[in-house]
């Protein structure tokens, strides 16, 4: 029984066919890299998985549930989270507040939010975990600084750390390495590999940085012209003549 399955997904925008019968079956957790030239349909596929777009045909199944068209709220409850190409953090909130907000069940008034988290014994473990993750992305010294004081790459690291606070089951990262400088890219790579070992989750990431995605992925899926062209281990995909002709070459 597949853990995650995309079956016969089609999507067109006017006369442009973005997805042309995407089929993909994933049976285990791990890190799956999704690559392909611009216009291959990668972001559109993410939009359909997360309910931002509706497919013309086809279904998305996760954990034996048909999640096609589910709202973001229902997906979050199931443990499905997604990033976008633009970084999304709360710029006026501190790094620690951003981390803790990720696991709040209900919004708290800004004036009492930090006091609530720090004074409630039951939630001190959450604060400890937030600080541990901030340390892993080398942001410990900024925990009381507003996120807006960070560089773009640091904001991206903060965003990903907040996601792992939720202990998600299915993560969809859209170009996490884009705009991240080389020094921070090493931190990002190490963090993703570390969380791969710590949390039993399925991570699917779209990325154009070939060195990065080959380093962090267990399995590579190549899209071309709205469909899956090739899939396999990173070494297998990189040596595929079909992939070289369509994309890597």
Examine the pLDDT at 43 and tell me if it is beyond 80: yes
Give the tens place of pLDDT for each residue, 117-173: 445 655 677 899 999 999 999 999 999 999 999 999 999 999 999 999 989 999 999
Share of the chain above pLDDT 90, in %: 79
How distant, in Å, are the alpha carbons of 25, 39, 139, 202 from that of 142?
Answer: 41, 38, 5, 29
**CA atoms lying within 13 Å on the CB side of residue 212:** 25
Q: Where are the domains of the chain?
A: 1-79+168-249, 90-166
Output the pLDDT for position 109.
Answer: 42
CA distance 240 to 90: 42
Q: Which CATH class is domain 1-79+168-249?
A: alpha beta
Share of the chain above pLDDT 70, in %: 91
Least confident residue range of 36-40, 117-121, 172-176? 117-121
Output the pLDDT for position 119.
Answer: 53
Residue 209 phi, psi dihedral angles, 5° rounding: -80, 100
39 contacts 246 by C-beta, under 8 angstroms: no
Nearest to 145 by CA among 133, 136, 158, 156: 158
């Amino acid at each position: 029984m597949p853990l995650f399955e995309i079956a016969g997904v089609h999507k067109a925008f006017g006369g442009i066919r973005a997805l042309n019968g995407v089929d993909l079956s994933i049976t285990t957790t791990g890190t799956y890299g999704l690559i392909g030239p611009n216009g291959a349909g990668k972001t559109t596929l993410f939009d359909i998985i997360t309910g931002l777009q509706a497919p013309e045909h086809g279904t998305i199944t996760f954990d034996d549930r048909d999640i096609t068209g589910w709202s973001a709220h229902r997906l979050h409850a199931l443990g499905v989270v997604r990033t976008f190409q633009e970084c999304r953090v709360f710029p006026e909130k501190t790094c620690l507040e951003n981390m803790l907000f990720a696991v709040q069940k209900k919004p708290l008034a800004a004036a009492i939010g930090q006091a609530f988290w720090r004074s409630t014994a039951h939630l001190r473990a959450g604060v400890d975990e937030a600080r541990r993750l901030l340390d892993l992305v080398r942001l410990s010294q900024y925990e009381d600084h507003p996120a807006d004081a960070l560089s773009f790459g640091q904001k991206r690291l903060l965003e990903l750390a907040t996601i792992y606070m939720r202990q998600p089951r299915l993560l969809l990262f859209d170009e996490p390495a884009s705009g991240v400088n080389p020094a921070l890219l090493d931190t990002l790579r190490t963090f993703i590999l570390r969380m791969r070992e710590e949390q039993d989750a399925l991570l699917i990431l779209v990325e154009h940085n070939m060195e990065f995605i080959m380093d962090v992925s267990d399995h590579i899926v190549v899209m071309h012209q709205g469909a899956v062209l090739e899939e396999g281990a990173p070494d297998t995909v990189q040596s595929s003549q079909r992939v070289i002709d369509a994309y890597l070459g």
